[in-house]
Copies of this chain bind each other. A is one copy, B any other.
Amino acid sequence: MAVLTLGTVAFDTIETPFGNSGKVVGGAASYIALAVSHFSKSQHVVSVIGEDFPKPFLDELESRGAGLDGLTRVEGGESFHWAGSYHDDMVGRDTLATDLNVLIGWEPQVCAQGAKAEFVMLGNLDPSVQLAVLDQIQSPKLVVLDTMNFWMDVALDNLKKVISRVDVLTVNDEEARQLTGEHFLPQAARAIHAMGPKTVVIKKGEHGALMFQGGEVFFAPAYPLDKVVDPTGAGDTFAGGFVGYLSARHSASGALTWDDMKQAVVVGSVMASFTCEAFGTSGLASLTAQDMKDRWQDYTQLSACGDIAWPEG
């Protein structure tokens, strides 16, 4: 089934203790769309770029089935640009520049086909833009929202409006705590359920992801990489793998089960691991089916410990 992907298509400049990216293609929708494309050839991207954005990346997206009718190109405009520097722990980071450029005043337009998408991935953006897109979708089966602490600081009311209208919220652990005022994650998840989303995915980066739904909880570890080159976009990639997999499952099975949701978290975790291994989107774009299957095989062994009963004392 079709996926609508909202988010930035942009430039990033990234410093880590181990290297520098230079100016590379990034943005939430770039990562989401590439991840989705490995599972669905029916995708519509809603975003905005400047005249400076490289055509080859757009061609790459289109060749993977991502429709760009909802991608606004501003003549004479400059694309969104984020620059950041990661700390030694490769988790904390300082923002060095946020050049909004063409994001300022952008009014997202969903094309006629995109408006019929059954799966909607609202990538991290101003909640007012997320609302404007959601208003244009006719009857989505599943809406997934990603956001970040910045919007909790500056646009909490609008953010809560979006949250109340989505099925799945993905945030990291600190964001879940900030949003709810609850320190312990099961309690934070319950507070988020009360805001609307029946499913809550809490991303913990190198420490994996927790999903809460209907009193159930599921944990997926992060794949233990030998080296993290750049975690930028890992959360977006996770979301893209999650929603892309679910859109494919839904076609097959007709309805989404708790097992489908759990497997989607696993798929998202596997996909995110590839993004961490390179600067920008290059790692994700060049993946083969065999690459993904091989890592998936490794991944499934990671927490498998055989069938045992609790030992009698």
Please report A residues at the B interface, Cβ cutoff 8 Å.
Answer: 38-41, 88-90, 183-187, 204, 207-208, 210, 216-221, 224-228, 245, 248-249, 259, 262-263, 265-267, 289, 292-293, 296-297, 301-306, 308, 310-313
A187/B248 in contact, CB under 8 A:
no
Compute how far the CA of A303 lies from the CA of B303 in the bound complex, rounded to whole angstroms: 7
Q: How far is the CB of A111 from chain B (nearest CB, A)?
A: 24
- Residues of chain B within 8 A (CB-CB) of A305 are 218, 220, 259, 262-263, 265-266
Q: How many copies of the chain does the oligomer comprise?
A: 2
> What are the residues of chain B within 8 A of A207 when measuring CB–CB?
204, 207-208
A248 x B184 contact (CB < 8 A)? no
- Taking a contact as CB atoms closer than 8 A, the residue among B259, B306, B311 that contacts A306 in the complex is B259
In the A-B complex, the 8 residue pairs with the closest CB atoms: A207-B207, A262-B305, A219-B221, A296-B310, A259-B306, A303-B303, A293-B310, A219-B302
Q: How far is the CA of A245 from the CA of B313 in the complex (A)?
A: 9
Nearest-Cβ distance from residue A57 to partner chain B, whole angstroms: 20
Q: Is the CB of A267 within 8 A of B184?
A: no
Q: Write the nearest CB–CB distance from A268 to chain B, whole angstroms.
A: 12
Q: How many angstroms between the C-alpha atoms of A187 and B303 in the bound complex? A: 19
Chain B residues contacting A248 (CB-CB under 8 Å) are 311, 313
